Structure 1
Amino acid sequence: MPKLSLNASKKTKQTAAGEIPVDWECAKLERLIDKLEAGVSVSGSDRPAARNEQGVLKVSAVSDGRFLPDENKAIETSEILRARLRPRVGAILVSRSNSPELVGESALIKETPGNLFLPDKLWQVRLLKNANASEEWLSQVLRLPTIRLEMRNRASGTSQSMKNISKSAFLGIHVALPPLPEQRKIADILTTWDEALEKLDALIAAKDRRKKALMLQLLTGRKRVAGATGEWRTTTLAQVLEPTPRPTPKPSKPFLAAGIRSHGRGVFLKPDFIPADIALDELYEIKSGDLIVNITFAWEGAAAIVSDEADGALVSHRFPTFSFRAGKASRAFFRHYIRTKRFVFDCGLASPGGAGRNRVLSKTAFLKIGLMLPPIEEQEAIGEILDTCDAELTLLRRQRDALDLQKRGLMQRLLTGKIRVAVDEPVASP
């Protein structure tokens, strides 16, 4: 990655915005912003607007510093005349009402369809004409961790799930204000990093779609592995799995405990679990390669193949474990099969219960679940193909996280003046 030509800022001053270069100013947002425009609350359908329909943005249209125009709902015909404010390209949107973690989320509008309106919970920032401030620069400033923290601290509300920030509280925030040419250069640099992140996100999404399509084809036999022979046969989980409980007395000292995430997201560990925190005298040991199920949440995909890191961890009786019968089923195949909608649906049928989340898996019904399986060699080959897809996605996500961390570090230094950039030099690319 090319290096940026940056100069350390040596002369600084202490201000309400922190320590900043002596040639920068400290300004409240009210000095830069003319208006915080908002739309109105209108009724809409629980679906995005089609091209020939009018839509109102949802609060989720502003997420992680990005504007997501597809996060909208179609406005009911009787409500269209009440909608009044459209998002403007180049403007900043701010979430004035949201969860405590997300209140104050903001994003720059780079492009937008012409059929959308703003709700009452999103502000559209309009800068003063003589503010000497760049919208691209300000959009980056509003994403600084220190500014986000101040917005959360200034938000009010009695509900623990919803907070609001007032106009006066928002406009009273102090920011470090560099000269306009430096603002623009800083924004150019950080925008380059944002664009690189967006490209990586698009690549990850495409690879994920490809993997899901392969899962659908390979795990149902619609697509066969090259060179595969032999028929797929109807079987049941009882014919390929063997219940393998390993009861053990509860340890007297802290131990490694485990749980299962829903939606096929695997096992999670709880190191140094305190024995007194669980009111059971007997626990069960799990082993690497087991299939383990959470009987309380199996209906929403709480099943996993135990990883090497979880080998020897302890669980309660609510986590029955199964081993694979030799020559009958492949762990690699089942690692992906248990994430399919078909498997989760079948687990739901095997989990009787009342409304809501109070449903418990019947282990007897679970073992009666039917499925189609290819010969063991093809199972292994399918598992290997899908494991390769997962490995590629993991690598891309790590690359994305590393780039995001680099961008955040650069952002913190540039927007506070810890390092300076010469405004007459070309922008480097990540």
Structure 2
Amino acid sequence: MRIDLYKIKKKGMQVAVVTTGALLMSFTSIFAAPVFSVHAEETKEEVEQQKEEAQQAQEEANANAEKYQKKVDKLTAAVNELDKQATDISTQIVEKKQEAEDLQNEIDETQTKLAEAQVSEDNQYEAMKKRIQYLYEEGDVAYIDALMSSASFEDSLNKSEYVDQLSTYDQKQLNKLVKTKNDIAEYQQTLKDDLADVEKVKADLETKQADLDDVISQKNAEINKYSDDVEMQKALAAEYAKQESELDDKLAELARQEQQRLEEERKQREAEQQQQDNNGGSDNSGSDSDNSGSNNGGSTTGSGRFIWPVSGPITDYFGPRESPTAGASSNHMGIDIGCSYGVPIAAADSGVVTVAEWGESGGNYVMIDHGNGFVTMYLHNSSLAVSVGDVVSQGQTIAYAGSTGYSTGTHCHFSVFLNGSYVNPLDYL
């Protein structure tokens, strides 16, 4: 089998595209290494780009699998119809064989009757010959004796007529036997002609059956080929889905690393601020405290007790799930809260805005560092109401609900991180 591989190299990834029309000799040899390789130094944008391309490749593989499956279904329907025709022809062949056997048996029977008729004709002919020979040999003497022995002239005439009648009878019997023999022979010929016609029809049917068998074999070969293509494309789609999952994990890891970095920076800032406060307190203990507040009057450290970012039903829970749309993760790292478009999204607790931007999968999203290892994330917003560095209070509007990014409808995706790892938000609400 032929396998054509085109390798498309891009920064941080390599895509192996297998041309359709041939089955992979070994999926192991192609999938021994990930199709999309991820490197630690890659940025979130690069990983999201890789994920998008993996998703496109998966969609293409699924489309190809569907296309080839339709070919398989169409060919299978055609083969089923041809099988019906072949079965019908096979039945007709059996019937013609039986008809030919019946005709041959009848021909054999007529042959026996024909032989018997020939014997009867021969016997009748021999008997007639003997009587004729006798009359000829006896000649006029016998005939005169017959006349002289007659009691009267009338009697002599009767005897003469009897001799003539006897000769006529022999001829009639002979003619009758000849006719019977000829009738049998004619009927036998009719049977032979019928048999020849039946044999011709049977031969034509057998030729047609052989042609159908060839067509069915060809279509079965095509079915096997396209079935192999379907399995190949499904395997490719599964591999691309695996790569998407790995890229989701990579994105989660990058997010965790980013939160860890932000947490370390925050702690560093707090330590520096504490040092400055300590130094300032020693130098000027009588100064007022007007500068201790945030730009929004909130606290950089939350209470540890979260409020709901928006009111509404939970439409998807934390944990494994079936991906609701192309590009969405099958491991849901938060909860989805259904709501109306444009309603305010509130900060679950006080803290510092660390991310307020657009993401390929999350759309417009916000991340807030609440201190003590807690970070919350709000995805798919229609617009944002805060910027990076803003200090927000619990309940303050940070965004407005929408359906941006990988989303199937307006909702708020709410995630909670604890020390850089996703946790179930319901445990903290």
Which of these two proteins has the greater Rg computed from alpha carbons?
A: 2
Decide which structure has greater strand share.
1
- Which TM-score applies when normalising by structure 2? 0.22
Decide which structure has greater helix share.
2
